[in-house]
Structure 1
Amino acid sequence: MNLNLKSKTQNSYDAIVVGSGISGGWAAKELTEKGLRVLLLERGPDVKHIEGYETALKAPWEFPHRGRLTNEVKENYPVQARKYALTEATTGLMTQDIRYPYLEAKPFQWTRAFVVGGRSLVWGRQSYRWSDLDFEANLKDGHGVDWPIRYKDLAPWYDYVERFIGVSGSAEGLPQLPDGVFQAPMELSCVEQHVRSAIEQKWKVSRKLMIGRSANLTAPTPEQLQLGRASCQFRNLCSRGCPYGAYFSTQSATLPAAMATGRLTLRPNSLVHEVIFDENRGRATGVKVIDQESKEEIIFHARVIFLNASTMATNFLLLNSTSPRFPEGLGNNETASLGKFIMDHHQSAGAKGTFRDFNNKYFFGRRANGIYVARYRNYLEKGDGYFRGFGYQGGGSRGGWQRGTSTKGFGAGFKDKLSAPGDWSMNLNGYGECLPYEENRVYLDRTRKDPWGLPMLVADAEYRENEKAMRKDMMSDAAEMLEAAGATDISTFDDIKYIGFCTHEMGGVRMGRDPKTSILNQWNQFHQVPNLFATDGSAMTSSSCSNPSLTYMALTARAADYAVTAMKKNEF
């Protein structure tokens, strides 16, 4: 490996952002717009907006294998292939696991998109504010350390982020799920409207079904139009990349905003493997990068560094950044909490049912969104033997011709039957909170090396009794609500997977009030390295039961504002 000894004079910036996904794009935007010269590092290749979405406009018959995965793809993507996100249409955006292997002490799904834009290109776009029900939970029930912030600290930043990214949704007035700055909501189907009414009639205020709050534009603002974004086309092909810029992604929104300042340098194919720490100054001075094309090691320097590589990658980077002061990883504390308290939501527990009284009605378009039922257990209704709670996602729709793949029959009559829509059905899929357990952790196996000569990350985390107990209510409550709405053929399901499968992995570099038990303070600033910040999922102190991406963005915008103010005061 070659070492560029002139890097200090050639490669100095005001700020470095590691990772170009949902939070990294926001860090780049905020820091450049506030006057800093920023280097944005991404380990994967560049994906250009519109032209880089190679499968976005392809018809099903244009895929040689009709969307299915070949054996060769499964061999190259052994982890990604375990989940629905990898199809023939998305292989260009997802990461080949054989290039970046990790070890699973217990089954762990690390869904990865190591390209510019990261998982912002393939995310589900569900955007929910957390409330003090979430930020106060650890303090109230004693699981985990107390968050150093409350909803009031983040509320103006939620406003700020929502205005920029564009979130469609309806105001519902729920304290546990605060309303936001919404564009016009997408429409509920006739069956969803019926189920909503039935739930409200029986449970009054404790349970409420609403349209999902999704980062898809329905009424673009002048600012969004100026960036080249347009309204959602209701194609429901979002995972291929959106050439219309209708959903929020780094490519459609934060990256062009940052580029417009003239102060952003984007460097793809740059694998950051170590943060450099100056023992004398007590500051991070830069990062070490492996150029994935030349294999050269390059050092970049900056006054402030933001880590946004994603939960697992940020944990790896810190654990791999050792020094005499931090022999167990940069920023680690007296209780060695770095890499611990890994969380994810748990899902695939709920119920589904059939509604035949609406078969004279249909829907228009392919809505890229579903329904949401906000948490009510251990808030407005007691939970049965567990802490925290869950919400529901899902939706109601009519069966299409695809139902024939699991139906017996053949011939002209069978084809005619499939050409007509099937029955309406409704699915309620629970999303539950996972408690922060110290035993759920990631660490490095330095005896094993990956293809880049780096130690292997080991994932050692699992769902525990609290999560399993919660799933009983997730199933029975879903069936109860469908039954109240008059559904037939109701069946429950419980297909618990493993940590990471929900793609909401969090923790390991948690925020907190006490430097002895947490890594970050209330500004996402490292307690012991003041010019270093982490604002991706690694910073989370608890997991809530609501999707976390909107909170990552709000935390990032807030931390960037604080960091620039601190720099101007010469605090680091």
Structure 2
Amino acid sequence: MNQNEIFDAIVVGTGISGGWAAKELTEKGLKTLVLERGRMVKHIEDYPTMNDDPWDYPLKGELSKEEKKKYQKQSRVNWAPKQDVKHFFVNDLDHPYVETKRFDWIRGYQVGGRSLTWGRQSYRWSDIDFEANKKEEIGVDWPVRYKDISPWYDKVEEYIGVSGENLGLKVLPDGKFQPPMKLNCVEEDFKKSTSEKFDDGRLITIGRTAHITDPNATFEGRGTCQNRDRCWRGCPFGGYFSSNSSTLPAAERTGNMTLRPNSIVHEIMYDDLTKKATGVRVIDAETNEKIEFKAKVIFLCASAMASVGILLQSKSERFPNGLGNDSDALGRGIMDHHYKLGASAKVDGYLDKYYKGRQPTGFYIPRFVNLDEKTKKKDYLRGFGYQGRASRGDWSENIAEMNYGKDLKEQILKPGHWTIGVTGFGEFLPYDDNRVTLSPTEKDKWGLPQLAFDVEFKENEYNMREDIKTQIANMFNAAGFKDVNVYDQKTGPGLGIHEMGGARMGHSSKTSILNKNNQVHLVPNVYVTDGAFMSSSSCVNPSLTYMAFTARAANHAAEQLKAGKFS
């Protein structure tokens, strides 16, 4: 590549946000260089396990002892990495970080990033979320409100395909949905029980998920969800949204995208005279060659913590503490969502009923606390939601000591009894002392400083966790479920895989890094549109919000370029 070429735009990262930035910028005619630190992954061609069955793997799909050493931190999420998906998760020995306090940083370094393995739950924020910081005088006030983002939610939902049910809730705005998937019989009765026995607005709905369900809908190169529930391996049908199946092919079709994998961006170059960024410095992951690429505008979409790290490393005489960091806000306010707590129970009856396929979503319970005086809690702020599922199956029926011979053969051919389980996802407040910094001593294999995490749950979070467990136990008991088991596994922040913050939006460079358009206040041709820009966390899955803000910011950048602002 010609290092003297000046691109209209550089996009750093190819995940949820980077794919959208690439699509929008190239479709607006911008010659765009897209840089990914990981390897190339082509849609379908590079999904080696997409059609495998459980019996195709030794050790029941578990990693060997030697392999587990490579994924000690990635394995904290429990469901990954296994043999079928390990290639989409980083090797922790090659990509270390420092934990001043425990932080579970789950990553995927490849073209497509974690858009290949994300949970696909897609929910809009509301003004309850955007206004909370200001009302409670916590962190900094968001410089935007729901009306600013609503049309961009529309655009994203219609493009990626989100199945779901409109509810008319203020706390969970309606969207542009594909037909909803179905609750099963136990979930339907749980929905009925909840509406009858609680009068505080709580309800059950089907999860809103980024899967195409309308067979008559047209999504170029993508088909409908096949209900295989092998999504995290890469979907050959394109039934769920990923950068690889959707936004990156769209960008490629324009002829305006140059995609370069194995390109570790570690610094944004800054010109003191023009007060603008001029490009990025890159290390080739395979050859260790040091390269510079130039552009008029830069979109940082490397994933929240990686983008914060790049900004911290982007030092100059003007910005000795990191690009745009006059406020010392850079790296502060790191958040995640609660995870690994909830409840499970046994469900009597329904033995004459079953369900078809392996639906990739279950039910969702929207936030119902701290919405008004009636639902106000005394010992914590903000709220939580639940994601869950009812299913049939009982591992004990496959234990030889419990059945053998003819009885065993008959039992394993029949579905087991019904069970139900949920996980709570709660909001994490934006504390300034929850931060990520550059380690002064620890380096990675390319000689770059490792990120050091000093992030923890505090009193508000621990109090909320107790209520998450209490409320779901009450709901299960009210529904008549048996053997209700409440669980709360010891984790650190990060395990929700919704890490965010560190380069927050705000009204002023004195208290924040970015303005209302996702631009660095003090370097306006740099945009940050992954989770780093978040000024609070809400309690809903954040990826839909990242995509909406990215589309909005790319439109703004194209207009600024057209007006000659970044020339």
Instruction: Give the TM-score of the pair, scaled to structure 1.
Output: 0.96
Report deviation, 1:465.
0.9
Letter in 2 for 1:378: N
Worse overlay, 500-509 or 96-105:
96-105
CA contact (8 A) 2:397 2:411 kept: no
CA distance in 2, matches of 1:349, 1:25: 32
Q: 2:355 aligns with which of 360, 363, 366?
A: 363
Q: 2:136 aligns with which of 141, 145, 169?
A: 141
CA distance in 2, matches of 1:547, 1:136: 18
Partner of 1:340: 332
Letter in 1 for 2:335: M
Find out whether 1:420 has 2:414 as its counterpart.
yes
SS of the aligned residue for 1:491 comes to strand
Q: 1:260 aligns with which of 253, 268, 275?
A: 253
Report matched runs for 1:5-20 at 5 Å: 8-9=3-4, 11-20=5-14
Partner of 1:446: 440
Report deviation, 1:191.
0.3
Identify if the C-alpha distance between structure 1 residues 97 and 406 changes in structure 2 by more than 3 Å, giving closer, same or farther.
Answer: farther
CA contact (8 A) 1:346 1:496 kept: no
Report matched runs for 1:287-302 at 5 Å: 287-302=280-295
Q: 2:103 aligns with which of 108, 112, 121?
A: 108
Q: 2:207 aligns with which of 212, 222, 231?
A: 212
Q: 1:495 aligns with which of 459, 481, 489?
A: 489
Report matched runs for 1:136-535 at 5 Å: 136-204=131-199, 206-219=201-214, 222-224=217-219, 227-334=220-327, 336-380=328-372, 381-400=375-394, 402-404=395-397, 409=402, 411-412=404-405, 413-535=407-529
CA contact (8 A) 1:18 1:24 kept: yes
Unaligned runs of 5+ residues in structure 2 are none
CA distance in 2, matches of 1:178, 1:408: 52
Worse overlay, 474-483 or 32-41:
474-483
Unaligned runs of 5+ residues in structure 1 are 1-5
CA distance in 1, matches of 2:400, 2:490: 26
CA distance in 1, matches of 2:440, 2:485: 47
Q: Deviations over 1:514-567 (max 9, x none)?
A: 210000000001100010000000000000000000000000000000111111
Worse overlay, 345-354 or 454-463:
345-354
Report deviation, 1:367.
0.5
CA distance in 1, matches of 2:320, 2:257: 33
Worse overlay, 195-204 or 512-521:
195-204
Partner of 1:540: 534
Find out whether 1:78 has 2:72 as its counterpart.
yes
CA distance in 2, matches of 1:337, 1:286: 23
Identify if the C-alpha distance between structure 1 residues 486 and 104 changes in structure 2 by more than 3 Å, giving closer, same or farther.
Answer: same
CA distance in 2, matches of 1:244, 1:120: 15
CA contact (8 A) 2:80 2:86 kept: no
CA distance in 1, matches of 2:3, 2:562: 22
SS of the aligned residue for 1:57 comes to coil
Partner of 1:34: 28
CA contact (8 A) 2:162 2:178 kept: yes
Partner of 1:3: none
CA distance in 2, matches of 1:490, 1:292: 50
Instruction: Give the TM-score of the pair, scaled to structure 2.
Output: 0.97
CA distance in 1, matches of 2:492, 2:166: 33
Worse overlay, 60-69 or 277-286:
60-69
CA distance in 2, matches of 1:75, 1:472: 34
CA distance in 2, matches of 1:216, 1:76: 32
Partner of 1:46: 40
Q: 2:88 aligns with which of 85, 93, 103?
A: 93
CA contact (8 A) 1:307 1:533 kept: yes
The percent of aligned pairs where both chains have the same amino acid is 52
Report deviation, 1:8.
4.3
CA distance in 1, matches of 2:356, 2:82: 25
SS of the aligned residue for 1:531 comes to strand
Report deviation, 1:469.
0.3
Letter in 1 for 2:176: V
Q: 2:553 aligns with which of 530, 553, 559?
A: 559
Report deviation, 1:7.
5.5
Letter in 1 for 2:136: D
CA distance in 2, matches of 1:290, 1:281: 25
CA contact (8 A) 1:274 1:318 kept: yes
CA distance in 2, matches of 1:37, 1:513: 31
Report deviation, 1:347.
1.8
CA distance in 2, matches of 1:367, 1:521: 40
Letter in 1 for 2:187: E
CA contact (8 A) 1:383 1:473 kept: no
Partner of 1:569: 563
Identify if the C-alpha distance between structure 1 residues 406 and 239 changes in structure 2 by more than 3 Å, giving closer, same or farther.
Answer: farther
CA distance in 1, matches of 2:125, 2:308: 23
Identify if the C-alpha distance between structure 1 residues 49 and 59 changes in structure 2 by more than 3 Å, giving closer, same or farther.
Answer: same
CA distance in 1, matches of 2:280, 2:324: 15
CA contact (8 A) 1:525 1:531 kept: yes
CA contact (8 A) 1:220 1:229 kept: no
Q: Deviations over 1:412-471 (max 9, x none)?
A: 234543432221111122111000011111001132211001111111101111010011
CA contact (8 A) 1:315 1:339 kept: yes
CA distance in 2, matches of 1:270, 1:221: 40
CA contact (8 A) 2:315 2:322 kept: yes
CA contact (8 A) 2:384 2:427 kept: yes
CA distance in 1, matches of 2:10, 2:81: 31
Report deviation, 1:144.
1.0
CA distance in 1, matches of 2:143, 2:396: 50
Aligned residues: 562
CA distance in 1, matches of 2:216, 2:250: 15
Report deviation, 1:201.
1.2
Report deviation, 1:221.
6.0
CA distance in 1, matches of 2:71, 2:345: 35
Report deviation, 1:411.
2.6
